[in-house]
Amino acid sequence: MTLHAAVIQKLLNTGSHLGRRAAEHHFKQYAYGTRNGMTIIDSDKTLICLRSAASFVANLAHMRGNIYFVNTNPLFDEIVELTSRRIQGDAYNHNRSMNLWKMGGFLTNSYSPKKFRSRHKKLCFGPTTMPDCVVVFDTERKSSVILEAAKLQIPVVAIVDPNVPLEFFEKITYPVPARDSVKFVYLFCNVITKCFVAEQMKMGIKDGGKDDVMKDLAA
């Protein structure tokens, strides 16, 4: 089995190719076909998009850019938190407290962080500095932050499902077509982390290795 075939098999094992619904017209460029009314996503195109997104995130290491990971799905909390720590970005996991997205202003009010009190602890939301990139999980639920990032001309990397509306899709700089299963989110975060750390290694900031990313995918 070739390395490419092994990587594609790895993607298939995560279930990334199983779209939940029929694809919108603008998503059909990533579709392999349909089955029982559901879209089958082309894993080759997922891989191409994943490489582009990972390369962009890795290049931010040269400018010591701020990367914000936006997640409200509790299933991804641990994965996103670990990724954030390794890349030294910021993770915002709001599902356990309240839905900030309905309030708006997450990025546009970034210099005035909002403070709330819950029964258990004080929560402070909103970045205090403008990010250089926003990585979004579950684009359907985080549409407001995508719109805000677009207004501020902040690049957005996001996992996109076949039914993502056009108004949000066209504002995503680096879309990665895939089903957001836990396995795929783990793989996605692992790839961008390794690429980012590899660039830091070249700059003498960290130890790591970009050359092993594809091998790790195939493992």
Domain membership flag for residue 17? no
Token code pair at residue 121: 């602890």
Tokens describing residue 188: 């996605």
d(Cα 111, Cα 144) in Å, to the nearest integer?
Answer: 18
In a domain? residue 183: yes
CATH of the domain at 119: 3.40.50.10490
Residue 23 per-residue DSSP state: P
Q: Which positions ≥6 away from 94 have C-beta within 8 Å? A: 72, 100, 101, 125
Which pLDDT score is estimated for 62? 82
153 assigned to some structural domain: yes
Give the count of alpha carbons within 13 A of 163, CB side only: 12
Confirm whether 218 is domain-assigned.
no
Q: Answer yes or no: is 211 within a domain.
A: no
Instruction: Write out the residue range of the structural domain in which residue 180 sits.
Output: 50-203
Which of helix, strand or coil describes residue 36?
A: coil
Residue 215's nearest CA partner among 27, 41, 1, 4 is: 4
Question: How many folded domains does the chain comprise?
Answer: 1
- Return the pLDDT at 177: 92
**CA 51, 56, 62, 66 torsion-angle sign:** negative
Q: What is the pTM of this model?
A: 0.75
In a domain, 33, yes or no: no
CB 42 within 8 A of CB 30: yes
What is residue 38's predicted lDDT score, i.e. its pLDDT? 81
DSSP track, 57-71: HHHGGGGT--EEEEE
In angstroms, rounded to a whole number, what is the distance separating the alpha carbons of residues 73 and 133? 20
pLDDT at 29: 87
Q: What pLDDT is stored for residue 32 in this prediction?
A: 83
Per-residue pLDDT of the chain (219 residues; tens, 9 = 90+): 666 677 778 877 887 787 777 677 788 888 888 787 788 888 899 999 999 999 999 998 888 888 888 887 888 888 988 888 888 644 444 433 323 333 345 565 554 444 444 444 444 445 557 888 999 987 766 578 888 889 999 999 999 988 888 888 899 999 999 888 899 999 999 999 989 888 888 877 665 444 454 445 445
pLDDT of residue 140: 67
Q: Are the beta carbons of 109 and 126 closer than 8 angstroms?
A: yes
Number of Cα atoms under 13 Å in the Cβ half of residue 50 = 27
Residue 199 lies in a domain: yes
What's the confidence (pLDDT) of residue 12? Answer: 78
Please indicate, yes or no, if residue 104 is contained in any of the structural domains.
Answer: yes
